[in-house]
Amino acid sequence: MNKLVTNYAFTVIYQILLMITPFVTTPYVSRILQPKGVGIDAYILSIVSLFLAFSMLGIPLYGSRQIAQMRDSKDLGKEFISIYIYQLTFSLISLIVYIIYVFSLNQNQVFYFIHIITFVAQAIDISWYFNGREENKKVAVRNIVVRIVSIILVFMLVKTTSDLWKYILINSVSLFVGQFIMWIHLLREIRFVKPQLENIMTHLKPIFVLFIPQINIQIYLLINRIVLGSISGEIQVGYFNQAYRIITLCLGIVTSLGTVLLPRMASEFSQGNFISIKKYAKGALQFVFLVSTPMIYGLIAVADNFVKWFFGDGYDPVANLIKILSPVIFFVGLATVFGIQILVSTNQQNKYTFSVTIGAILSFMVNITLVPKAGAVGTSIALLVAEGIGALIQMYMTRTFFDLKSLGKDLLKYNLICMGMYLFISSLENLLHINLIFITFFQLIFGLIFYFTGLMFVKDKFILNVIKKLKVEKNY
């Protein structure tokens, strides 16, 4: 349990860094590159990410699970190589197709060519190995260092709208350096053994089974942006991208638990410990409720003021998009528990694939229906539909793992407290006649105090257990 807590702590530390750093870089980049530059970057990255999805298949999830199940085996090195061969092969194929695609373009070719570095970085990404070994600390420390260096470079080198290529280059190179460093740790841990063709082929089917839901996720995350850019223009993509970036920052806290728990759940499943699986899943779901609910209400309350001072002039539509997208935090949190931690870790990939596929189809249908008239609002609604439907389907498929009635009571409790918190911090906007930055700051601080006080008042079991464990460890 201590290792699990340590892994989660380091993963969350990195996610908190991800949350903090945009508060430094995004206002700067938004003003330097302007909505059009931000939109071009987001649109190109969407296309690049689509190619990258084909290069990784379902390897991050599958590899992490397999390494977790065999981490004490003498064949660990052989297992790693057998899986990595697929990643390397399909990365090369995707890169060749991508280069052919870039040569067919008439504009922004330089930006696309810079992203070849991103492809190489993805090809050597072995973070799934360390996640499977429950060595998240190494991954987190690497990411923290690289992130800090890249931030410094952005401020030093990106000075005008014409520096978009520098911004893309910094992000690509920093990603490559971070991935390359992990190979130093890997070479110290495993002994490379030439795998047999039979061992390699055993991974083919399960990798492709997990690839289907992963590419479907990319469909409603990336193709929707491509559709938005093609129909409504790059500025609308810029609005959506900035709003989704804020949502993603909040998601990091929730989804970090899934990254940490997947190998642990897979290990428990391989040993037949279903009682432990249910215990971890219940705690994870309570955590999702506890954390995601105040995030949603808080974002809706502060969105208008936050966007005005954070992004600067020209980004007013982003506030409404943040409000629409905020429930995505809750649905992705549910999917992390139901889909990743339970269905994937217990080898029920087919059910996971079905749920994500349905969500992707609905997302695409809503997107092409609403985008022509509503622009980025349509894309936001499409994403919300996809995540919501997918999570609900997964919840139904894993219903035997939970007491849904009890969890429903918890969810109602958190929502009632957060409604009070929302009314309280919304009123501060009219009461405080100070700088918008300070208003947002006070709203967040007093919102947290209100929420925590409410949890103590209703004697929330999750919070009381955490406090109890902290006291025990302190006394120890």
Distance of CA 18 to the CA centre of its chain: 11
What pLDDT score does 414 carry?
92
What pLDDT score does 125 carry?
87
Residue 307 has pLDDT above 80, yes or no: yes
What pLDDT score does 476 carry?
47
What pLDDT score does 341 carry?
76
Single-letter code of the amino acid located at 214: Q
Cα separation, 368 vs 229, whole angstroms = 12
pLDDT (mean) for 333-340: 84
Instruction: Answer positive or negative: Cα dihedral of 386, 387, 388, 389.
Output: positive
Question: Using only C-alpha atoms, what is the Rg of the chain?
Answer: 22
Residue 418 has pLDDT above 90, yes or no: yes
Would you place residue 169 in the very low, low, confident or very high pLDDT band (cuts 50, 70, 90)?
very high
For the ranges 12-16, 31-35, 340-344, 416-420, the lowest mean pLDDT is seen at: 12-16
- Which residue bears the tokens 């047999």? 196
pLDDT (mean) for 311-325: 89
What pLDDT score does 288 carry?
86
Element (H, E) at 449: helix 436-457
Query: Is residue 10 a contact partner of residue 138, using CB atoms and an 8 Å limit?
Result: no
Residue 89 has pLDDT above 80, yes or no: yes
Task: Decide: pTM greater than 0.75.
Answer: no
For the segment 218-267, what is each residue's pLDDT rounded down to a tens digit? 666 667 777 888 888 878 888 888 898 888 878 877 776 555 555 566 56
Would you place residue 321 in the very low, low, confident or very high pLDDT band (cuts 50, 70, 90)?
very high
**% of the chain with per-residue pLDDT over 90:** 17
Residue 22 has pLDDT above 60, yes or no: no
Exposure on the CB side of residue 152, measured as CA atoms within 13 A: 7
User: Residue ranges of the domains in the chain?
Assistant: 2-402
pLDDT (mean) for 142-159: 84
Single-letter code of the amino acid located at 232: S
Q: Which residue has the higher pLDDT, 135 or 421?
A: 421
The C-alpha angle with vertex 222 and arms to 219 and 226, in degrees rounded to 5, equals 110
For the segment 349-377, what is each residue's pLDDT rounded down to a tens digit? 788 888 888 888 888 888 889 988 889 99
Residue 406 has pLDDT above 50, yes or no: yes
Closest listed residue to residue 336, CA positions, set 355, 323, 361, 357? 355
CA-to-CA dists, residue 74 to 70, 192, 387, angstroms: 8, 11, 40
What pLDDT score does 267 carry?
62
Q: Which residue has the higher pLDDT, 65 or 458?
A: 458
Cα separation, 240 vs 321, whole angstroms = 7
Residue 322 has pLDDT above 90, yes or no: yes
